[in-house]
Amino acid sequence: MASSMQPVSSDEPVVTVDWLYANLTDPDLKVLDASWYLPDEQRNPIQEYQAAHIPGALFFDIDRIADQTTDLPHMLPSEEAFAAAVSALNIANKDRVVVYDGKGIFSAARVWWMFRVFGHDKVWVLDGGLPKWRASGYDIKTSASSNAILKSSAATEAVEKVYQGQPVGPISFQTKFQPHLVWSLEQVKRNIEEKSYQHIDARSKPRFDGVAPEPRKGIQSGHIPGSKCVPFVQLLDAQQTLLPADEIKKRFDQEGISLDDPIMTSCGTGVTACVLVLGLHRIGKHDIAVYDGSWTEWALQSDTAKETS
């Protein structure tokens, strides 16, 4: 059957469920379920994927397709590890990738950002995610094929092999690292002095203010000096779809953030910071960096200043 692949702009970071449904059978379209939940939610994303997912989707495990040399959760893997994992998922550079999650727009934005960090711009988040897909009446697969399970397992095993220095299978995906999209602890420290970038934190206001606990045990709440709070949920509507551009601009304006000046984002562990990047992408800001270690890394340091409001 001839492809019905309608063009979708790389300026627009999301696709609709109707677009995905119309293009689902295209061989150059790969769909990833990147569901992930906070520790205190006690949800198992792999089990949920196996019980219900978009037809043809493979599971992308952000906790395991990650840097194996740190205790920090789901940090960006090396180029070699990412290439090995994505190749095991049968994704090549020619492919378009659509990422979704079980909440609407949450962890899918992290995987969208990861692909862009490694030089792949043909990537979109499914607007409204699995809830919107289901609400629209589209088919759900209620069991995962052994092939799908094998591919997802192969992806996480490939990452482990790379970090253990073992050979991995054929590589179908070539990375092109974009260092300006990722910030380190040292860059954030330097920015407190230099103030060259506006720093936006995507966590809830109570966590930012230090009056509500962090979801990870042993991490105090509060924020990095000089940062401003725009909770990621403020960029989404009641259906968990991304707000229109003018509404997104309003949210940043309300917090005194200039869209003409450089911006970097953070959150708890580098997941919802990527939702802010998604929203900023919609309004034409395409090179926003994420502080990968985010508040968890910052709070664990003995020599970093922490503020509460």
Q: Mark 230-268 as b/e (b = at least 16 C-beta within 10 Å).
A: bbbebbbeeebbbbeeeebbebbeeeebeeeeebbbbbb
Residue 83 has φ and ψ, to the nearest 5°, of -60, -40
The answer to whether residues 54 and 119 touch, using CB atoms and an 8 Å cutoff, is no
CA distance 244 to 250: 10
The answer to whether residues 131 and 196 touch, using CB atoms and an 8 Å cutoff, is no
Residues with Cβ within 8 Å of 290's Cβ and at least 6 positions away in sequence, in order, are 113, 181, 182, 183, 264, 265, 266, 270, 273, 274, 277
- Dihedral angle computed from the Cα positions of residues 231, 236, 242 and 247, in that order, rounded to the nearest 10 degrees: -80
Residues serving a catalytic function are 267
Q: What residue type is assigned to position 162 of the chain? A: V
Tell me whether strands 58-59 and 29-33 are parallel, antiparallel or unpaired.
Answer: parallel
Tokens found for residue 183: 């910030």
DSSP 64: T
3-state secondary structure of 34: coil
Helices (H), 136-229: 146-163, 185-194, 205-209
Tokens found for residue 1: 């059957």
